[in-house]
Amino acid sequence: MEVMYIVIPCYNEEEMLPITAKALITKMDELIVAKRISPKSRVMLVDDGSKDRTWEIIEQLHESCELFTGVKLSRNKGHQNALLAGLMTAKDYADIIVSMDADLQDDINAIDGFLDKRAEGCEIVYGVRSSRETDTGFKRWTAQTYYKTLAALGVEITYNHADYRMMSRRAVEALSEFKEVNLFLRGIVPMVGFKSDIVTYERAARQAGESKYPLKKMISFAVEGITSLSIKPIRFITGLGFFIFFVSIIMLIYFLVVHFSGHTVAGWTTTVVSVWALGGLQLLAIGVIGEYIGKIYLETKARPKFIIEKNLEEDK
Ligand code: UDP
Ligand code: MG
């Protein structure tokens, strides 16, 4: 029987944690009794520098029930880094690691499906949402457009898969070899390879507390995903540059012809329009390139992605 760790990043989840904990106790007990996972299996709650009582709750859970363990990050580092911190800590104790959110939006019963696939020899199993009915129309639309954009940019990504997945220790070890600071897990995990499969599940609405991903964070996460996985936007700009250069040559010829055939061009409109159009385009182009240079800048610094302040697993 394999030791399974469920890694859950938690940021200001005091309202949700007790509910999640209860559901997980039932689920884990069920799996342990059915001898599908080892009794040494745990739920690892990663406190991502929460400002509320999240860490106290994690410590309480750990004291009252051996099923729970916790890791406290030194400060808020965001969902992806918190998840990574959990994976990297859990891989020292677990054979298989499931990652999920604290809000129970991901159906915990899909874990049975994960274990089935694992028994078939999969190293990575992706949880894929079968529908997006519980999302608002806006979120559904933005998410779909986003997946399509990523696919068009040549990024290999599993449609409608977020961060609910199971990875074997071997897969997580391989993931740890990816040293990049700009981390977009759902784009990088497929690069790990190995035998993998998907399990579909119904995604529920958040039961308590509110989404920790406001629009602003969502947008920056989306940009992060694109720029850390694809350089096609830069190629596009180069292409656009060539195209505009080509157009300007045709315009030059046209103006010369007009000039020498004696017609005078009023010209004001053309000038103003092209100044604005080209100016705007140049700023945009510089912006996109700047985005990548910013990435390179951060990568060269190679700062730690997370710092662990406390690991409850260690003080046993
Ligand atoms: N989260 C985190 N750090 C952050 C923001 C979020 O660890 O800075 C966690 C959060 O506690 C939750 C998960 O990431 O477990 C997903 O967040 P949320 O459910 O708010 O996102 P949504 O489902 O709305 O995309
Ligand atoms: Mg959520």
Q: What does the DSSP assignment read for 42-106?
A: EEEEEE-S-SSSHHHHHHHHHHH-TTEEEEEESS---HHHHHHHHHHHHTTT-SEEEE--TTS-S
Q: How many CB atoms lie within 10 A of CB 276?
A: 10
What confidence score (pLDDT) does residue 165 get? Answer: 95
What confidence score (pLDDT) does residue 264 get? Answer: 63
Ligand nearest to the CA of 163: 1
Q: Is the pLDDT of residue 48 over 70?
A: yes
What is the rounded average pLDDT of the residues 298-304? 82
85 CA distance to ligand 1 centroid (A)?
A: 14
Least confident of 14-18, 94-98, 238-242, 272-276: 272-276
What is the rounded average pLDDT of the residues 49-63? 94
The residue nearest atom 24 of ligand 1, judged by CA position, is: 211
What confidence score (pLDDT) does residue 36 get? Answer: 93
The answer to whether 143 touches 219, Cβ cutoff 8 Å, is no
50 CA distance to ligand 1 centroid (A)?
A: 11
Q: Which fold has domain 4-229+311-315?
A: Spore Coat Polysaccharide Biosynthesis Protein SpsA; Chain A (3.90.550)
pLDDT category, 181, cuts 50, 70, 90? confident
The answer to whether 163 touches 83, Cβ cutoff 8 Å, is yes
Ligand nearest to the CA of 86: 1
What confidence score (pLDDT) does residue 282 get? Answer: 84
pLDDT category, 234, cuts 50, 70, 90? confident
Quote the distance between the C-alpha of residue 38 and its chain's center: 29
The residue nearest atom 16 of ligand 1, judged by CA position, is: 101
106 lines ligand 1 (CB under 6 A): no
Token readout for 270 is: 């053309």
In which residue are the tokens 């055939």 written?
A: 261
Q: Is the pLDDT of residue 301 over 70?
A: yes
163 CA distance to ligand 1 centroid (A)?
A: 10
Token readout for 230 is: 């694809």
In which residue are the tokens 């106790």 written?
A: 25
Pairing verdict, β 308-311 and 42-47: unpaired
What confidence score (pLDDT) does residue 34 get? Answer: 93
Least confident of 4-8, 168-172, 228-232, 308-312: 228-232
Q: Select from 315, 316, 312 the least CA-distant residue to 44.
A: 312
User: What are the extents of the domains in the chain?
Assistant: 4-229+311-315, 232-301
Pairing verdict, β 4-10 and 68-73: unpaired
Greatest mean pLDDT range, 25-39, 126-140, 192-206, 237-251 = 25-39
pLDDT category, 44, cuts 50, 70, 90? very high
Q: Is the pLDDT of residue 186 over 80?
A: yes
Q: How many CB atoms lie within 10 A of CB 239?
A: 11
Amino acid residing at 91: K
The residue length of the chain stands at 316
Q: Select from 75, 68, 67, 97 the least CA-distant residue to 7.
A: 97
pLDDT category, 272, cuts 50, 70, 90? low
- Which of 101, 135, 146, 161 is the pocket-test mutation for ligand 1 (most atoms within 8 Å of CB)? 101
What is the rounded average pLDDT of the residues 182-188? 82
Q: Which atom in ligand 1 lies closest to the alpha carbon of residue 212?
A: 20
pTM of the predicted protein model: 0.74
What confidence score (pLDDT) does residue 149 get? Answer: 84
Q: Which atom in ligand 1 lies closest to the alpha carbon of residue 209?
A: 20
Q: How many CB atoms lie within 10 A of CB 55?
A: 19
Distance (Å, whole) CA 25 – CA 264? 83
The residue nearest atom 1 of ligand 1, judged by CA position, is: 79
The answer to whether 28 touches 105, Cβ cutoff 8 Å, is no
82 lines ligand 1 (CB under 6 A): yes
Helices 54-64 and 17-33: crossing angle in degrees, nearest 10, is: 30
Q: Give the three-class secondary structure for 311.
A: strand
The residue nearest atom 14 of ligand 1, judged by CA position, is: 79
Distance (Å, whole) CA 257 – CA 103? 68
Q: Is the pLDDT of residue 131 over 80?
A: no
Q: Is the pLDDT of residue 162 over 70?
A: yes
105 lines ligand 1 (CB under 6 A): yes
103 lines ligand 1 (CB under 6 A): yes
Distance (Å, whole) CA 38 – CA 96? 11
Residue 307 has, within 13 A of its CA and on its CB side, a CA count of 6
pLDDT category, 25, cuts 50, 70, 90? very high
What is the rounded average pLDDT of the residues 44-65? 94
212 CA distance to ligand 2 centroid (A)?
A: 7
Q: Is the pLDDT of residue 104 over 70?
A: yes
The answer to whether 126 touches 192, Cβ cutoff 8 Å, is no
Tens digits of residue pLDDT in 72-93: 999 999 899 999 999 999 999 9
